[in-house]
Amino acid sequence: MFKSLIAASVLAVITGCATAAQPTEGNAEQAKYTASDKAERLAKEYLLVDTHIDVPYRIHDKWEDVTEATAEGDFDYPRAVEGGLDAPFMSIYIPASYEQSGGSVQLAHELIDGMEALVARAPDKFAMAYSTDDIRSNKEQGLMSIALGMENGTPIEGDLDNLHMFYERGIRYITLAHSLSNHISDSSYDIRRQWDGLSPFGKELVKEMNKVGVMVDVSHISDEAFYQAVEISDVPVIASHSSLRSYTPGFERNMSDDMLKALAENEGVIQINFGSSFLAEQANRYRDMMKKRINAVKEQYGEDSDEAKRRIKDIEANNPYPFATLDTVLDHIDHVRDLIGVEHIGIGSDYDGVGDSLPVGLKDVSTYPNLVQGLMDRGYSDKEIEMILGGNLMRVWEQVEDYAETH
């Protein structure tokens, strides 16, 4: 399942040339990222929260029992335990097309039902988590928390009663829009800016989310919508799965330095996305580069000619997808720390949401210790690592909970 238009387009280009995209030497590069015993211990000891994993839509589309080891995907229980994951926020992802087609409320309920069924099938492994207290209690009991975030606010359908309903069903953050603008907000991917930020209802929704206790997620929305959201919100916001525009110039889906500064003033957190197209300029521009070269060949030799097919095959073989690496992820983390402080950094991997574009060294949920090792190697203290793995996100969530209790 490829959620973002960018990831879908990139992977559509490289479909059929997986061997070229993952050369043998890539395995050696993967192997160089090896976690020490201490890194593995810290990953398991500290509370590890990942705010964006796309299991619900993955198994809704093609069911697998992720309570056991699976052949496909980036998440299953054994690998998550190996990686030290305590609290995945499972994404209740609603494709942007549902804004026009209808049916978004039904799909949201189905995806939530799927997560509740997951817990029911393996109560010795998983437990639902509706609060920060639940997260901590589940960890103490040796259970992996299943928390829920809604990616795309389309199911709110302009009715604040739906916000309350989805809160009761366990939704604890809402990404206001996705790849197209909706009735709440403009999208960073959508050239149409019908609201110049948030809609009038979107502004009302942000205030109500504060009162209810649902975190405002500013990933995916336009710059104008972001600034309006942080101004309107009385509590910190999160970017549940975003990275930095300074490494991907022109990619509005990521956050600029000015946005990071505004996020810091809001006391919010950016949860770093692991998708290569979010991390590295070369990967971000790969799709457009390949499309231009392939179209030029088709125009010169004829779209269905044998010569065009041969040349396109050579282009694909000689231009493998330029995966980011663990070091690229660490560069993003360093940049946030140096600009606004370590207290604003977390993890929002987008596992099961960015297809085969994950970086070398962080290919699935078993590899969080590699991240910990990288942070150790770059001089982060144990306390700072604890903050990045989950402490910062829990601080924001608690502030949201406390505000809702008194309003």
Of 83 and 294, the structure prediction assigns the larger pLDDT to 83
Give residue 21's pLDDT. 35
**pLDDT tens figures, 281-293:** 999 987 777 778 8
**pLDDT tens figures, 321-344:** 999 999 999 999 999 999 999 999
**pLDDT tens figures, 57-110:** 999 989 999 999 999 999 999 999 999 999 999 999 999 999 999 999 999 999
Local confidence band at 3 (pLDDT 50, 70, 90 cut-offs): low
Number of residues in the chain: 407
Output b/e per residue, 76-104; b: 16+ Cβ within 10 A.
bbebbbbbbbbbbbbbbbbbbebbeeeeb
Asked if the model's pLDDT at residue 297 lies above 80, the reply is: no
How far is C-alpha 266 from the geometric centre of its chain's CA atoms?
A: 21
The one-character DSSP state at 193 is: -
| Six-digit token string for 266 | 């809001």
Give residue 81's pLDDT. 98
Give residue 350's pLDDT. 98
Give residue 27's pLDDT. 59
Burial class (CB in 10 A: 0-12, 13-18, 19+), 335: middle
* Residue range 19-34: mean pLDDT, rounded: 56
Give the C-alpha separation, 227 to 266, whole Å. 10
Q: In this structure, is the dihedral angle defined by the CA atoms of residues 193, 257, 273 and 383, taken in order, positive or negative?
A: negative
Asked if the model's pLDDT at residue 300 lies above 80, the reply is: yes
Local confidence band at 320 (pLDDT 50, 70, 90 cut-offs): confident
Mean pLDDT of the chain: 92
Give the C-alpha separation, 47 to 390, whole Å. 6
Residues whose CB is less than 8 angstroms from the CB of residue 207 and which lie 6 or more positions away in sequence, other chains included: 232, 233, 234
Local confidence band at 10 (pLDDT 50, 70, 90 cut-offs): very low
Give residue 162's pLDDT. 98
Asked if the model's pLDDT at residue 4 lies above 60, the reply is: no
Give the C-alpha separation, 145 to 170, whole Å. 12
Local confidence band at 17 (pLDDT 50, 70, 90 cut-offs): very low
In a 13 Å sphere around the CA of 66, the CA atoms on its Cβ side amount to: 32
Cα 181 to Cα 22, 185, 220, 345, 392, distances in angstroms = 35, 6, 10, 27, 29
Q: Domains in the chain, please, with CATH? A: 5-405 (3.20.20.140)
Give the C-alpha separation, 215 to 132, whole Å. 12
Give residue 14's pLDDT. 33
**pLDDT tens figures, 329-387:** 999 999 999 999 999 999 999 999 999 999 999 999 999 999 999 999 999 999 999 99
Q: Considering the entire predicted model, what is its pTM?
A: 0.91
Give the C-alpha separation, 280 to 266, whole Å. 27
Give the C-alpha separation, 261 to 281, whole Å. 22
Percent of the chain scoring above 70 in pLDDT:
92
Give residue 309's pLDDT. 86
Give residue 98's pLDDT. 98
**pLDDT tens figures, 167-205:** 999 999 999 999 999 999 999 999 999 999 999 999 999
Q: Which residues of 136-284 form beta strands (DSSP E)? A: 144-151, 171-175, 215-217, 238-242, 269-272
Of 270 and 27, the structure prediction assigns the larger pLDDT to 270
